[in-house]
Amino acid sequence: MIDFDEELKKFKPSLEISEVEDDVVKSDISDINDIIMEFRKLSECEVFERMKRRKMEIRHLEKLPPLDKLYLSFISKYEGVEITPDIEIYGYEKVLYENRYLVTNYSDISQQVWMIGTSGQGDGWFINKESNLVLFYDHDQGEYSNITQFTSLNISFCCFLQMAFLYQDLEKMLRKQENVNKILLDAFVKEIDSIYPNLFKAYPYKYF
C-alpha cells in the first residue's frame, strides 16, 4: 500500500523557469571559475615536474657558456621538450649542434646570443649572453646580421617556461571548446602579464 502522507513529505515542487535559469547560470559560473583556476602560473618546482628527466645527467657543462643557472640545470638534467607548437626547447645534444652551426656561420652573433629552441614556424628562441633574458627571432628577417633583429621578452628562462606552460594550458582549453568566454580570455591575459608587464602583447604568436 502507498502511504500518501509519507509520499507528500518527499515531494519537491519543480523549479520555475526563472529558477531554472538561475541554476544554469550558477552552474556556468562554477564551470568558468574552475577553468580560470587552470590558468595559474606554475612555481619553479612545478615547471620541472612537467619535464622528462634525462637517463644520465650531464655533469660537465664546460661546452656551454656561463648562462642562467636555471637554464644550465635544465640542460644537464632534462630532455628537450615541445611545450607548444611554437615553443620547443632543445636538449643538450641538439643545443650544442645548433650553436656550433651558429658559431661557424654567424660568429659575431654567436658571441652575443645562445640558441635555446625553435618554433614550428621556423623562428628561434635565444638567450642573451649578457643579460640572460630570452630573445625571439622572426625567421622572415632572413639571415642573422645584427643583435637588433632579436626581440627581447624581458624575462628569464624560468619565466619563459612559466609562460610556455600557460600557453599549453590555453591550447588544451581551446581544443575542448570552440567559443571562449571573454572572462576566460581576460583571466589568461592577466596571468601572463603577472609574469612580466604586457608580456601577452610582447609574445609574438597571437591566439585571439
Q: Quick one: pLDDT at residue 115?
A: 98
Does residue 152 sit in the same domain as residue 167? no
Whether 74 and 47 have beta carbons less than 8 Å apart is answered as: no
What are 192's three cell numbers?
601572463
Q: Quick one: pLDDT at residue 147?
A: 95
Q: Quick one: pLDDT at residue 23?
A: 45
Element (H, E) at 135: strand 134-137
Whether 149 and 137 have beta carbons less than 8 Å apart is answered as: yes
Q: Is residue 9 part of a domain?
A: no
Does residue 152 sit in the same domain as residue 166? no
Q: Is residue 41 part of a domain?
A: no
Q: Is residue 25 part of a domain?
A: no
Which residues in the chain show pLDDT less than 50? Answer: 8, 20-21, 23-30
Which residues, 6+ apart, have CB-to-CB distance to 151 below 8 Å?
A: 135, 136, 137, 138, 202, 204
Q: Quick one: pLDDT at residue 33?
A: 52
Q: Quick one: pLDDT at residue 29?
A: 44
Q: Quick one: pLDDT at residue 208?
A: 75
Q: In total, how many domains does the chain have?
A: 2
Does residue 183 sit in the same domain as residue 198? yes
Does residue 115 sit in the same domain as residue 138? yes
Q: What confidence tens digit (pLDDT) does each residue in 147-198 have?
A: 999 999 999 999 999 999 999 999 988 888 767 788 888 999 999 999 999 9
Does residue 132 sit in the same domain as residue 177? no
The neighbouring-strand residues paired with 82 are 88
Does residue 197 sit in the same domain as residue 148? no
Q: Quick one: pLDDT at residue 27?
A: 40
Q: Quick one: pLDDT at residue 24?
A: 41
Does residue 188 sit in the same domain as residue 102? no
- Structural domain harbouring 174: 161-202
Whether 75 and 95 have beta carbons less than 8 Å apart is answered as: yes
Q: Is residue 141 part of a domain?
A: yes
